[in-house]
Amino acid sequence: MSNIYSIGFGVGTCNSKGEWLEVFFPHPVIYPTDEVASAVTGTLNIDGGNVAVALDTAQLQPLAEQLESAGASEQAAILRQFASSERPLVAVVLHSDDAPQSVPEAYLKLHLLSHRLVKPQGIKLDGVFGQLPNVAWTNQGAIDLQELPQRQLEARLKGELLEVSCVDKFPKMTNYVVPKGVRIAHTARVRLGAYLGEGTTIMHEGFVNFNAGTEGPGMIEGRISAGVFVGAGSDLGGGSSTMGTLSGGGNIVISLGEGCLLGANAGTGIPLGDRCTVESGLYITAGTKVAVLDDKGEVAESVKARDLAGKNDLLFRRNSSTGTVECLTNKSAVELNAELHSN
């Protein structure tokens, strides 16, 4: 294995100043072989560090030949296709998993997540918001916000409509990556950088942020916030929520184990172990006072929810008479509908 973390060859969009707005990496590589790493760094004269190098057409054929000899035929084929590109091209080489320092670096890391090459919380994305520009995502691709009014006028003068689907730093994942074996009812609700394991279904109201996702299979009708990972066989009911690391959750890494259920409009601000259930309408935060019940239904102790973080087979519910949040052993595991998850 080489000392290079990742390599990607991309085609993207720049504004009129030559600044990158976005980059598409059709086949990123993580932990390339020594031969592939040497072919890239030698041909492009890269000595070290994390770099994004603009590619010109004169470099494509020699680099493709070196990669072919190194056994990277798929990468070589991509570079040969790049020869006909009318868009700017870039090569990104990451010698280490450090915080991204440019738009191409950030986009390569987001691609690694959505291509399932790394899992959420398994890659450094510190400061990614500061690296990514806010972009108008349109039916004509990414457009710099300062250039948008002129582009809208130009379209109208041609009798066309420039449709702006959203204004955001992150594009929707499916314009870059469609992982194998998933269903996504509303593609705008899954950002690039989401990790969707095989067998995952995202319903219309489901949402998955970047650096978050599912092991799969899973049924997601709620919100998976940034930094959150949901285990296999878990179900997020309609309107449910997970507390992310961007706001409210601080540095606490929230996760759901296998076979968990967040009921409709429920939520969690603590990590859940396997086979845990939070009843509909109940939101558990780290400071929530919880009455732990014994096998006779009597209160054994009163604790903060954070003291139950990561434990298996728990059922959280609210006592309808007293309003007290209670926790007892969950004797039934969630079983997902196999037919619904045959993606």
Q: Residue 316 is part of which domain span?
A: 173-329
Last residue of a domain, one of 124, 150, 168: 168
Let me know if residue 123 belongs to a domain. Answer: yes
Average pLDDT in the chain = 92
| Structure confidence by residue, pLDDT tens digits, 101-120 | 999 999 999 999 999 999 99
Q: Which CATH number is 84's domain given?
A: 3.30.70.2010
- Is 317 within 8 Å of 279 (Cβ atoms)? yes
Task: pLDDT band for 340, please (50, 70, 90 cuts).
Answer: very low
Q: What is the pLDDT of residue 297?
A: 83
Would you say residue 11 has pLDDT above 70? yes
CA distance 200 to 216: 5
Let me know if residue 79 belongs to a domain. Answer: yes
Element (H, E) at 93: strand 89-94
CA distance 157 to 338: 52
CA distance 147 to 243: 36
Q: What is the pLDDT of residue 104?
A: 98
Whether residue 78 sits in one domain with residue 51: yes
CA distance 118 to 195: 8
pLDDT cut 90: percent of the chain above it:
87
Classify strands 207-208 and 223-224 as parallel, antiparallel or unpaired.
parallel
Whether residue 316 sits in one domain with residue 202: yes
Whether residue 126 sits in one domain with residue 38: yes
- Is 39 within 8 Å of 31 (Cβ atoms)? no
Whether residue 288 sits in one domain with residue 181: yes
Burial class (CB in 10 A: 0-12, 13-18, 19+), 194: buried
Average pLDDT over residues 219-247: 91
Task: pLDDT band for 332, please (50, 70, 90 cuts).
Answer: low
Task: pLDDT band for 342, please (50, 70, 90 cuts).
Answer: low
CA distance 305 to 322: 18
What does the chain come to in residues? Answer: 343
Let me know if residue 340 belongs to a domain. Answer: no
Let me know if residue 68 belongs to a domain. Answer: yes
How many distinct structural domains can be found in the chain? 3
Whether residue 164 sits in one domain with residue 177: no
Average pLDDT over residues 312-318: 95
Task: pLDDT band for 255, please (50, 70, 90 cuts).
Answer: very high
CA distance 258 to 216: 9
State yes or no: cis peptide before 104, omega within 30 of 0: no
pLDDT cut 70: percent of the chain above it:
93
Q: Which CATH number is 164's domain given?
A: 3.30.60.70
Average pLDDT over residues 195-220: 97
- Any bridge partners for residue 10, and if so which? 90
Write out the catalytic residue numbers. Answer: 221
- Is 2 within 8 Å of 36 (Cβ atoms)? yes
Would you say residue 339 has pLDDT above 70? no
Whether residue 73 sits in one domain with residue 30: yes
Q: What is the dihedral of CA 279, 282, 285, 291, to 10 degrees?
A: -70
Would you say residue 338 has pLDDT above 90? no
Would you say residue 66 has pLDDT above 50? yes
More confident residue, 294 or 254: 254
Would you say residue 170 has pLDDT above 80? yes
Whether residue 301 sits in one domain with residue 177: yes
Last residue of a domain, one of 109, 132, 155: 132
Q: What is the pLDDT of residue 244?
A: 80
Average pLDDT over residues 125-132: 94
In one-letter notation, the amino acid at residue 244 is G
Q: Which CATH number is 306's domain given?
A: 2.160.10.10
Would you say residue 217 has pLDDT above 60? yes
Whether residue 290 sits in one domain with residue 163: no
Whether residue 196 sits in one domain with residue 158: no
Would you say residue 191 has pLDDT above 50? yes
Whether residue 117 sits in one domain with residue 251: no
Task: pLDDT band for 343, please (50, 70, 90 cuts).
Answer: low
Whether residue 92 sits in one domain with residue 31: yes
Task: pLDDT band for 96, please (50, 70, 90 cuts).
Answer: very high
Let me know if residue 337 belongs to a domain. Answer: no
Q: What is the pLDDT of residue 120?
A: 95
Would you say residue 181 has pLDDT above 80? yes
Let me know if residue 56 belongs to a domain. Answer: yes
Element (H, E) at 34: helix 34-44
Whether residue 314 sits in one domain with residue 212: yes
